[in-house]
Amino acid sequence: MRVRRVARLADIFEHSPYPDIVALDVPIGLLDAYDIGGRECDRKARRDLQKRRSSVFVPPVRACLNAETYEEAKALSRASSRHNRALPRQTWEIIRKIKEADELLQMNPQLRPIVREVHPEVCFLQLVGHPMKFAKRKPAGRAERRNALARVFDVNVILAQGQSERLPIEDVLDALASCWSAIRLAKRKGRSLAADEKTI
């Protein structure tokens, strides 16, 4: 196993054969109208994660993907919602990545069985049987996640590779948790949080 930075999601599919599974920490399958709490899988993830529930952002409605400013995205979100709810700021910060994944899968439907949405905190929960106790950016949180992943990976070697790529430790740990889920999904051992939605 090795770690490398990928500039674009499409770069993973430049050459065949394609990977069996690509686990992506980005919302896939967006709603057309804002619903409180997001999709069913988002609400289920928050319930399961308990104290780590704030790590699950509400995804944008699809209309927000073409917004040029946060104010425009908020207006589009409110217009879609009978609850007059705006797009959360945290979601706006990653909306370019969400749009990139959405466009790739819209233009390449053959990739839909391969690219699967996961959430690292839910992956850690499944790996150890309970939610992580500490935030991932705290030293205790990094140590907790390293220990969890050491059950299945040579974490020190992989983190050293990530350091050479100048990747934040938290991002590498999240990627490893997602990789663990990708392996499970490839072996048909993963499970969905909600029908036809997020898998872990």
Domain-located, residue 192: no
pLDDT of residue 195: 65
Residue 196, domain member (yes or no): no
In a domain, 1, yes or no: no
Expressed as residue numbers, the domain containing 17 is: 9-186
Residue 163 domain-assigned (yes or no): yes
In a domain, 139, yes or no: yes
Q: How many CB atoms lie within 10 A of CB 146?
A: 17
What integer pLDDT is reported at residue 200 of this predicted model?
46
- Per residue of the chain (200 residues), give pLDDT as tens: 788 888 899 999 988 889 999 999 999 999 999 888 999 999 999 999 999 999 999 999 999 999 999 999 999 999 998 889 899 999 999 999 999 999 999 999 999 999 999 999 999 999 999 999 999 999 999 999 999 999 999 999 999 999 988 999 999 999 999 999 999 999 988 878 876 555 44
165 located within any domain: yes
Type and span of the H or E element at 65? none
Whether 197 is covered by a domain: the verdict is: no
Cα 171 to Cα 15, 38, 120: the distances in Å are 25, 24, 10
Terminus-to-terminus CA distance in the chain, angstroms? 20
Confirm whether 107 is domain-assigned: yes
In the chain, the number of structural domains is 1
